[in-house]
Structure 1
Amino acid sequence: MNLPILKRDIENCREEMVQLALNTSMNDQRVIEASKKLDHLINLYFKFSTKCS
């Protein structure tokens, strides 16, 4: 697992979620899906970062 790439993906997903929320609402399905994706990426990051330590 390439942690720098995963970190970049997390940041991109976060930015996308924020923009969606600003242009729609926090309850919009696209915002919810982006939030779920972000949670998944963050969980992966912590899982693999603790294995590498």
Structure 2
Amino acid sequence: MENVLLKKIEKCRREMIALSISHGLTSEAVVQSSKRLDDLLNEYQKKVG
């Protein structure tokens, strides 16, 4: 399960980077992607303690 979550985290991180390049760091798309990444990282932290 942790491996699946890590893959989701990495995919979201790559998407956020791509969005920031194409839309700028403060665009709504990047902010939303960052929030998704934060949620995934928080979920991972809860699982690994």
Q: Is the TM value for this pair above 0.5? A: yes
Corresponding residue SS for 1:26: coil
Unaligned ranges ≥5, structure 1 = none
**Equivalenced residues, count:** 49
The two structures have a TM-score, normalised by structure 2, of: 0.96
Unaligned ranges ≥5, structure 2 = none
Runs ≥4 residues deviating over 6 A:
none
The two structures have a TM-score, normalised by structure 1, of: 0.89
Aligned Cα root-mean-square deviation (Å): 0.4
Among the aligned pairs, what percent are the same residue?
A: 35
1:1-53 correspondence to structure 2 within 5 Å: 2-50=1-49
Q: Deviations over 1:1-50 (max 9, x none)?
A: x1000000000000000000001111110000000000000000010111
